[in-house]
Structure 1
Amino acid sequence: MDIDCKEAPFLAVIAARTFITDLARAYDGFDPTMLDYFMSGSKGVHIRIPTEIFGGENGHPFLPRLHRKMLERHFLHHPHNQALGMLALGESVPAKLKDKTVGDLVDESLYCMGKGHLLRAPNVRRPDGRYKVQVSVEAFFERDIDSLLDLTRKPNTISVLAVPPTATGMADLYDHVLINWQSLDPRSYNLQSLSECQFMRHCREHAEILSEPEWFMMLRALAPLGEKGLELAQEYSRPHAEYAPEKTRAKFLHALQKGYPASCEEIQAIFQCSPRCKVRSPLDLERKRQSDTVVAAESFSPEKDGLYYSPSHGTLEGDSFKVCSPLKILGKMRNTDGTGWARLVELVTPDARNTRLSIAMKDCAGHGDSVLAMLCDHGLELTGGKMGKFIMDYLRLAATDKVFINVERLGWHGNRYVLPDAIFGEGGNEDINYTQGNSLFKCSGELAQWQEHIGRYCRGNTLLMLVSAFALTGPLLHLCGVEGGGLHLFGPSSTGKTTLALLAGSLCGGNENKGFVRQWRSTHNAIEHTAVQHNDGLLVMDESGQATADTVAQTIYMLSNGQGKERMRADATQRKAYQWRVQLFSTGELTMDEKIEETGKFRAMAGQNVRVVNLPIDRGAGKNSYSCLYGFENPASLSEHLKDATRHFYGTPLRAFLTDLCGTSNQELDANGADIKENIEKFAKLYCPDGSCGQVRRVAVKFGLIAAAGMFAAKNGILPWTPDESRDAVAEWFRIWLEGRGGVGNLEIMKALDRFKDFFARHGRSRFVEVNGLGENMRDLAGYRWEDKGEQRFFMITPAFNDLAKGVNRHELLEHMKQQGWLLTSGKGSLVTTKWISGRNVRGYGFIPSAWEGLAGNIEVKPQVKAGDMEFGGEF
């Protein structure tokens, strides 16, 4: 090692003595007499440390790198980290050197592992007229520094009685850095490096005639690669006539047990190859490539004014040059499925803005023209036309060990919940990089301020309490295994719908303008992208009247289904479809059914009413949303206050909710999830009436989710009311929904029955002819009519029945009609499906209109259960 200090050579001697003395103190068996000492002209000291002292091997391709790491680790400790000014008390130390340490004086260019560094031979005259001369260990430590430096004025040949070097405690230091070097995963080796070895290439190309000694030597060369080596051994051995997988495996394990790979010296004994590769074993070709990569990475230095490159990786002053404007690699990056490796970089634009970019590694192959074009397009400035090569080397080789997970959507990633600027939950060593900018997930104010200016005015106003709890349900969809969907508040204009939309959004984020609210005025293609940005969260969309009926119908289905359309990329490969889980909060003057059917082109299906639940803002009875005014003059004044407050205080409730939900460990998250699921089940069991159809039960679960979210938030002090109050508010609005629905039966069946009743009322005379056949050729014939004991009967032909029953399970509809006494049956109770008319059998169904008109005589009509007949209560 070289310890140089041209400005004050005596400091180099002090540093060298300190270094050697500390080695003797720190490592058992270390004897300074085992080293060779040289005074190097008028600038410092050169010391030769034999590899035997620390258990190294001469010729090891990584040895310079290991030397450097040994020094770096050793220099971390006292006295090497002590300022030279303190070590040279009483000496006149130049001011700029007083804070330097021993390590600062070591010339690290010896460890460059690049172009060879020539060491000056003893007694060769230096340009300054001085000589490099060897001195004895006694002279080095006992003579005064001035006389030592005077020895360099002329050649000096002495006879030094050196002590043979032996292993010392320094082996522990060497083993530590060696283990770190060996921690490079063999599975990451670029095995193409093996093809550079003539012997390995010979084994591959002549596998069918390989001799037994050559074959075993090949196995020994591959043994350090473990399972990958065995895989290659089988592949290389397969062409041989005597190949057997079991024999190859057994022989490979035997080679592995030797504990060291085949050396080039051993290979030369059975195969003559060129010595030009200058390594000890075939695998050292790959190790050398990796060491070159490490050194190349250390040659780059991101500074405030730009990226610099130093051929000596910073060890020689003045050799660095500027490559480009500021550019820094923040880390490596991959997708959640382990693909899509990239570099996350940050550059500074000419107008001093910091910009982050993702550079795909697949684009870094070759010259990287597309990468350079993208960087320059975003503001990177190169200092010269040939600097592109250095930038590409920097991107390929200089990445840190930090790994980011690249995410295109927010929400749950494993057990961590991701927002654009925060991660909740127990995490690993990987950080998150969210690629889709979203300005809506912001915070303003503190949670206490949101509670003071917004939350406290919701208490007692059950619709506002329901909306507040609903806003927090998004993160629970995945956790509780509940389907996505939403709430749609409908009612006349100027009834506070927009205020409620702003209220819902204020729990999750916002800004000073429209807060967290988005508009329905969009295409469903754009809504796909919006849904991804709100994954596992709340999506607020105001004024459904701005959208077309087609957009509303497709959006409701798409948002609830959780997946967008599959599309093709420009290269004709299929792009992965967007996926999400989202809770929609919507407002409009019409119900979703009315909006979808307003043009007459579409028919609203019952499934859409289950996915997005319609709630009347006036409770279905013309009432106001605000029961408690808290001193405000009227509901409009309170509404205006809430609107204004949501522009100043937002985003904190969701973050507090996620913090409490995730807790400090995955176990706490699981426990919270279990409690919330239990509360969902309790709510549905308690408040869903017996005999309810599947649609009602599904909606009961949705309201149960809202209740459970509100109870959890109230229990943790996020919503300023009690858990019981939160549950009761949700139960009240579930009752209102049931009353508005008209019962607990299947909504599709109920709508179909209404269509049939309306059809008979409007067309009972115009489209049904007398059963005697007169008028049978009428246009749009729907069936026949007659009287039986004074009561009207109809026989509807099959085509007309099927047209009215579109979108409904026909067998379920017929069974329901039969139970209600609507249909003619035979004496055995089976349906009448044919009737002899005008000499032929006509297929269809017979109807008894008095069954739905309340005049069915002795026919029992089973009434539907009405919400008003239900009792709500019990303990939760």
Structure 2
Amino acid sequence: MTEMTPIAAETAQTVEGAPLLSTPAAAAAPAAPAELERDALPVAGDVLPSAEEADAMDPVWAWLRAHHPNLQAPPEGFSLSTQGIYQLDDAPNRNSRIKGQLFVCSPLVVIGRTRTDKDGAGWGYLVALLNPVGKWVPVIVPSSMLADDGRQMRELLMRQGLRCAQDRAGRQAMGEYIQSSSPSRTVQVVTRPGWVGDVFALPGKVIGQSNNEMEIMLDLEARKLLVAQKGEVADWKAMARLAEANSRAALALSAAFAAPLLTRLGEPGGGLHFHARSSRGKTTMLRLAGSVWGGGGETGFARSWRTTDNALEGIAVDHNDMLLCIDEIGLAPTERLGEIAYMLASGQGKTRSSKTGQTQPTARWRTFVLSSGEDPVATRIEASAAFRRSGVQAGSSVRFIDVPMLIDDATSFEDLAGFADERSFTRHLIDETDRHYGWAGPAFLEAFLADPKAHEATAREMIETFIAQTTTPEDDPQVQRVARQFAVIAAAGTLACRWGVLPWDREESALKAAATCFDAWKAGRDTTKSAEELDAIRTLKAFFELHGASRFESLERRAPYGTAGEDDPLYSSSSQIVRDRCGYRLENEEDGSFTYFVTSEAWRTQICADRDARFVAEVAKKCGALIPGEGGHLTKNKRLPGRSGTARVYWLQPDKLP
């Protein structure tokens, strides 16, 4: 490669003898061939051929125009060579006190104008610079960075390897060079992957044909996203074939294809959490599913739960319309886990304000999450102080679904495909996900976009069929909602199989895996009630089991008042002082159980705490544990010691709670 000597600040103004070219027609005889770039340069959705295809590379502009005639010539008064950009003596606005060719920066071409705001704001420039190792690097430069003396722009470009003039004249000329360029292309820049109309934006690639006049480009602003391709498609399929006969593995692979369908089908985000004790294949499920989209990290495509909820917002945005794998939930902050799980599934971050007090745009995304850990998400949330105060958030429990990894007490896989044991089987899967990944996701998108309307209709039909076959009218709406998530996963896996992306022998394999895991979730839940109802029941049972004797004064009836009745006077049966009394209790003569008379204030503040007191009472009534009053009232009149007349209290029989 032609030597590109760094230019010191004191000699930056005039560099003599550099090969120049102001227009393509002025190309002189080339110098020694330069081994420019090995990687292709993306040009607004197009690809610039590698320099090895050129006969010569000095000057650079002749090669660029030969291979990319759509590129505009340098603006008047500037030239481009392998040595860099120079401002000529006769350039408009040239500082007359400086003689000779003025060095501006190392090789840089302006490819197009960019726009990040659909309403017309957010304009910028798409440029490509030649870095010190001979690679073209595309960079988006917001127009606002050229304000003042353009320092922010230079910092951005220099981080990517650009050499800039250090004198004032050279810095001014650099801003003039970029702003004077008039590229013919306009590029719509998106800052998160996923659907943009009818195309799907991935790093370095846009899948589909846009109906928009502008081209689409994804800019992650140097954030690393493990979307990449490695290995061979056939070898990846050989690995994926091993998952077909294993319900958890087949579910994980199917879930990897569900994420891009969510937006197209109008389905909300969600997630699965594989849980079991250590070394049972949980992380392997994440690696297997992640290999659909990429890899290369310490745990393949997966991220770690060891991060802040603010950082997870950014990670979720970077996985918009794609799979997000997060490993080892034991590293997550327990006190905020419920809120974080709800945030990831709901697809909306916090609303924040700037230093000036203006509201900043809220981060939004739609993704499907696969998580792993030794404990269920619900168990970890229930262990937090926040849960004890306020109870369960149904949004997190039914959108972030706990799936037991174990099929029985010791088995995670139904079919080991001839391997000696589960350890060697999972070791093989992990090794293969390190070697082959990133092919299936784009292939699935290309197959879907061949006829998106028809495929959407097919997926919706599959979803409704799955729900009808796996639920009953008696199931709570939250159970129906979980079934719908499994249905979307089943539909995605079935379509991937139908299109040959998944190499499974039977399309029904995805449906069977989803149904098996849905049954496992229901078995672990052991009820058709909603999460809020379960929480209300558990709250009541826990309170009366812990405080039934200590916080309720025992009562008894006394003769000669005849047959016991509800209005009979009651008397304290103990001289013991009851601290923090919540009410009274009376033993039932028929079976020895107790009826508790709970004061309204104690019911609201002590038993229900931050939960909805009326809802908890309604649940108890539905279970037959609350004896309602007349006229549909949840409280009922009772004569109690030390009170004149009757008082309205909650009549509760905890033994009747399920």
TM bucket normalised to smaller: 0.7 to 0.9
TM-score (norm: length of structure 1): 0.59
**Aligned to 1:486, what secondary structure does the other structure show?**
strand
Tell me which residue corresponds to 1:535. Answer: 320
From the superposition, tell whether residues 416 and 807 of structure 1 become closer, same or farther in structure 2 (CA, over 3 Å).
farther
Match of 2:115 among 320, 334, 342: 334
Q: Is 1:725 matched up with 2:525?
A: no
Q: Deviations over 1:150-196 (max 9, x none)?
A: xxxxxxxxxxxxxxxxxxxxxxxxxxxxxxxxxxxxxxxxxxxxxxx
Number of residue pairs the alignment of both structures matches: 553
Q: Distance in 2 between matches of 1:419 and 1:714?
A: 23
Amino acid aligned to 1:474: A
Give 1:414 shift: 1.5
Structure 1: runs of 5 or more not aligned: 1-293, 314-318, 854-876
Tell me which residue corresponds to 1:837. Answer: 640
Q: Distance in 2 between matches of 1:343 and 1:702?
A: 42
Q: Distance in 1 between matches of 2:362 and 2:657?
A: 48
Give 1:490 shift: 0.9
Report 1:841-852 matches (<5 A).
841-849=646-654, 851-852=656-657
Q: Distance in 2 between matches of 1:461 and 1:584?
A: 20
2:550 and 2:579 in contact (8 A); partners too: no
Amino acid aligned to 1:333: T
Q: Deviations over 1:377-431 (max 9, x none)?
A: 6532328652333322221121311122222111111221111021112224413
From the superposition, tell whether residues 360 and 816 of structure 1 become closer, same or farther in structure 2 (CA, over 3 Å).
closer
Q: Distance in 1 between matches of 2:510 and 2:156?
A: 52
Tell me which residue corresponds to 2:280. Answer: 495
Give identity over the alignment, percent: 32
Amino acid aligned to 1:297: P
Report 1:261-410 matches (<5 A).
297-310=75-88, 322-337=103-118, 338-350=120-132, 352=134, 354-365=136-147, 367-368=149-150, 370-372=152-154, 374-375=156-157, 379-382=162-165, 385-410=168-193
Q: Distance in 2 between matches of 1:412 and 1:710?
A: 20
Match of 2:462 among 679, 685, 688: 679
From the superposition, tell whether residues 433 and 459 of structure 1 become closer, same or farther in structure 2 (CA, over 3 Å).
closer
Q: Which has the higher contact order (CA 8 A, sep 6+)?
A: 2
Amino acid aligned to 1:446: E
From the superposition, tell whether residues 776 and 845 of structure 1 become closer, same or farther in structure 2 (CA, over 3 Å).
farther
Q: Distance in 1 between matches of 2:156 and 2:394?
A: 50
Q: Is 1:799 matched up with 2:601?
A: yes
Tell me which residue corresponds to 2:590. Answer: 790
**Aligned to 1:400, what secondary structure does the other structure show?**
coil
Give 1:750 shift: 2.1
Q: Is 1:510 matched up with 2:279?
A: no
Q: Distance in 2 between matches of 1:416 and 1:327?
A: 29
Q: Is 1:614 matched up with 2:397?
A: no
Tell me which residue corresponds to 1:765. Answer: 549
Q: Distance in 1 between matches of 2:117 and 2:224?
A: 20
Which deviates the most, 571-580 or 517-526? 571-580
Tell me which residue corresponds to 2:380. Answer: 595
TM-score (norm: length of structure 2): 0.78
Q: Is 1:821 matched up with 2:624?
A: yes
From the superposition, tell whether residues 715 and 806 of structure 1 become closer, same or farther in structure 2 (CA, over 3 Å).
farther
**Aligned to 2:396, what secondary structure does the other structure show?**
helix
2:257 and 2:444 in contact (8 A); partners too: yes
From the superposition, tell whether residues 496 and 681 of structure 1 become closer, same or farther in structure 2 (CA, over 3 Å).
same
Report 1:678-757 matches (<5 A).
678-721=461-504, 722-757=506-541
Give 1:618 shift: 0.9
Q: Is 1:582 matched up with 2:367?
A: yes
Displaced runs of 4 or more, over 6 A: none
2:102 and 2:170 in contact (8 A); partners too: no
Tell me which residue corresponds to 1:430. Answer: 215
From the superposition, tell whether residues 528 and 819 of structure 1 become closer, same or farther in structure 2 (CA, over 3 Å).
closer
2:85 and 2:108 in contact (8 A); partners too: yes
1:834 and 1:841 in contact (8 A); partners too: yes
**Aligned to 1:717, what secondary structure does the other structure show?**
coil
Give 1:552 shift: 2.1
Tell me which residue corresponds to 1:228. Answer: none
Give 1:698 shift: 0.9
Q: Distance in 2 between matches of 1:460 and 1:757?
A: 42
Root-mean-square deviation (CA, aligned residues, Å) is 2.9
Report 1:117-136 matches (<5 A).
none
Q: Distance in 2 between matches of 1:419 and 1:840?
A: 74
From the superposition, tell whether residues 296 and 424 of structure 1 become closer, same or farther in structure 2 (CA, over 3 Å).
closer
1:693 and 1:744 in contact (8 A); partners too: yes
Tell me which residue corresponds to 2:6. Answer: none
From the superposition, tell whether residues 358 and 568 of structure 1 become closer, same or farther in structure 2 (CA, over 3 Å).
farther
Tell me which residue corresponds to 1:135. Answer: none
Report 1:199-218 matches (<5 A).
none
Q: Distance in 2 between matches of 1:850 and 1:563?
A: 42
Match of 1:485 among 261, 270, 275: 270
Tell me which residue corresponds to 1:669. Answer: 452
Amino acid aligned to 2:291: S
Tell me which residue corresponds to 2:421. Answer: 634
Q: Distance in 2 between matches of 1:599 and 1:383?
A: 57
2:324 and 2:369 in contact (8 A); partners too: yes
Structure 2: runs of 5 or more not aligned: 1-71, 92-99, 556-569
Match of 1:413 among 196, 212, 237: 196
Tell me which residue corresponds to 1:473. Answer: 258
Amino acid aligned to 1:330: I
Amino acid aligned to 2:344: L
**Aligned to 1:690, what secondary structure does the other structure show?**
coil
Give 1:593 shift: 1.9
Bigger Cα Rg: 1
From the superposition, tell whether residues 296 and 449 of structure 1 become closer, same or farther in structure 2 (CA, over 3 Å).
closer
**Aligned to 2:259, what secondary structure does the other structure show?**
coil
Give 1:828 shift: 7.1
Report 1:543-558 matches (<5 A).
543-558=328-343
Which deviates the most, 710-719 or 669-678? 669-678
Amino acid aligned to 2:554: E
1:471 and 1:504 in contact (8 A); partners too: yes
From the superposition, tell whether residues 543 and 358 of structure 1 become closer, same or farther in structure 2 (CA, over 3 Å).
same
Give 1:819 shift: 3.5
**Aligned to 1:674, what secondary structure does the other structure show?**
helix
2:108 and 2:128 in contact (8 A); partners too: yes
Give 1:357 shift: 3.1
1:605 and 1:807 in contact (8 A); partners too: no
Q: Distance in 2 between matches of 1:466 and 1:430?
A: 36
Amino acid aligned to 1:641: H
Give 1:306 shift: 1.2
Q: Distance in 1 between matches of 2:588 and 2:149?
A: 92
From the superposition, tell whether residues 363 and 385 of structure 1 become closer, same or farther in structure 2 (CA, over 3 Å).
closer
Tell me which residue corresponds to 2:443. Answer: 656
**Aligned to 1:471, what secondary structure does the other structure show?**
helix
**Aligned to 1:801, what secondary structure does the other structure show?**
helix
Which deviates the most, 487-496 or 422-431? 422-431
**Aligned to 1:418, what secondary structure does the other structure show?**
strand
Give 1:685 shift: 2.3
Q: Deviations over 1:272-331 (max 9, x none)?
A: xxxxxxxxxxxxxxxxxxxxxx99824434333212445779xxxxx9765432111121
Give 1:682 shift: 1.9
Q: Distance in 2 between matches of 1:295 and 1:723?
A: 55
Q: Is 1:440 matched up with 2:226?
A: yes
Q: Deviations over 1:486-531 (max 9, x none)?
A: 0011111111111111111111110164210111111111111111
Q: Deviations over 1:695-740 (max 9, x none)?
A: 1111111111101101110111111222212111111111111111
Q: Distance in 1 between matches of 2:548 and 2:243?
A: 52
